Amino acid sequence: MSLEFGVVVPTWGAFGDAQKIRRLILRAEELGYASVWVGDHLLLPDYAVHLSPANWYEAMACCLVGLGWTTRLRFGTDVLVAPYRDPRLLAKMAATADQLSGGRLTLGLGVGFLEGELRALGTDPAQRGAITDEVLAVMRRLFESEGAVGFEGRHVRFDPVHFAPKPLQRPLPLWVGGNGRRGLRRAALLGDGWHPLFPSAEQYAEGRAFILKLRAEHAIRGPFRFSYSCPETRIVDDPVRIPTGTGYAGRDSLPPDYAYAPPPPVDASGRPLFIGTAEQVEADLHRIEAAGVEHVVLRFWAGDPAAGIDDSIDQMERFAARVRPAFDARA
């Protein structure tokens, strides 16, 4: 199986505009990408708005409308913050969308990181991991059980009820984000896939081996996908113009919440991976493919929504023309 490529469509800041979002989604489908992915914030605390403007379009709504705009694209969340949502309502929305779209939804789910946002939504940040575990467990139970089903957890409880319709996909993919050991365990035991934020190839291979070992120990069978959420992805014509730094500037001065994001990986020369000539980016992708990655979500928006929609579309086109054919030829 060849690598499968999706693309993040930013839905905030300068891209927080219905026409821009529609244009990016439709162009991704025209260019033959496998999927579109959207991020998740609901309420931004004051201390974070200089890093991320507050005008985020809600992730599930973007997926639902995008599914209606398109005929082939799969839509996913990169990643949905599980503690923000009631798992019963989320399960109903996801199952409905999956049925109406012909089975084109993937839910990426994670614990979240922005403590001010978690508190504003009634969640103790210290409990976000435990809540996420219950969200995943509830959704799996509703999707997979027949007849009346209830749940008795610390954070979610309900008496037996009937849940229908079930998702068209069996299972509807629940891909778990997270780079740490707890995230790996969560993905292995409660998920259908692992979708971490740009680990190195070595870290990815180690995480993949841990997940497979844990699933074997617990006799968990069924499909499982190994995905990868990329940092900034950029095809350049002149290697001299490759930027020397990516990610948030001045990491040391960031609010403590933002320590969740690892530094973007670099090669031995210090070049940010996935930024370079078409040949360099292709080699970077072969490296993570060798580590066991099966699905890649690319960010063509240069980490800065102010870069503009035309720049993002240009990068989508460059990748589709210059890099992806090397992988499509093996499909």
Which H, E and C letters describe the chain, residue by residue? CCCEEEEECCCCHHHCCHHHHHHHHHHHHHCCCCEEEECCCCCCCHHHCCCCCCCCCCHHHHHHHHHHHCCCCEEEECCEEHHHCCHHHHHHHHHHHHHHHCCCEEEEEECCCCHHHHHHCCCCHHHHHHHHHHHHHHHHHHHHCCCCEEEECCCCEEEEECCCCCCCCCCCCEEECCCCHHHHHHHHHHCCEECCECCCHHHHHHHHHHHHHHHHHCCCCCCCEEEEEEEECEECCCHHHCCCCCCCCCHHHCCHHHHHCCCCCECCCCCECCEECHHHHHHHHHHHHHCCCCEEEEECCCCCHHHCHHHHHHHHHHHHHHCHHHHHCCC
Summarised one tens digit per residue, pLDDT across range 211-228 is: 999 999 999 999 999 999
Mean local confidence (pLDDT), 253-281: 91
Lowest mean pLDDT among 18-27, 53-62, 247-256: 247-256
Report whether pLDDT(254) > 90: no
Q: Name the pLDDT band for 305 (thresholds 50, 70, 90).
A: low
Report whether pLDDT(249) > 70: no
Query: The tokens 């989508």 sit on which residue?
Result: 316
Yes or no: say if 25 and 62 are a contact pair by the CB < 8 Å rule.
no
Mean local confidence (pLDDT), 147-157: 98
Mean local confidence (pLDDT), 1-17: 92
Mean local confidence (pLDDT), 279-291: 98
Residue 241's pLDDT is 65
Burial of 144 (0-12, 13-18, 19+ CB in 10 A): middle
Residue 2's pLDDT is 84
Q: Which CATH class is domain 4-328?
A: alpha beta
Mean local confidence (pLDDT), 148-154: 98
Give Cα separations from 167 to 115, 134, 140 (angstroms): 32, 19, 11
Give 219's Cβ-side CA count (13 Å radius).
Answer: 0
Summarised one tens digit per residue, pLDDT across range 31-53 is: 999 999 999 999 999 999 988 89
Between 153 and 259, name the one with better pLDDT: 153
Summarised one tens digit per residue, pLDDT across range 173-202 is: 999 999 999 999 999 999 999 999 999 999
Mean local confidence (pLDDT), 143-150: 96
Please enumerate in sequence order all residues whose Cβ is within 8 A of that of 224, keeping only pairs 6 or more positions apart, or say none.
Answer: 191, 192, 193, 194, 211, 215
Q: Name the pLDDT band for 313 (thresholds 50, 70, 90).
A: very high
Report whether pLDDT(28) > 80: yes
Report whether pLDDT(246) > 80: no
Between 304 and 248, name the one with better pLDDT: 304
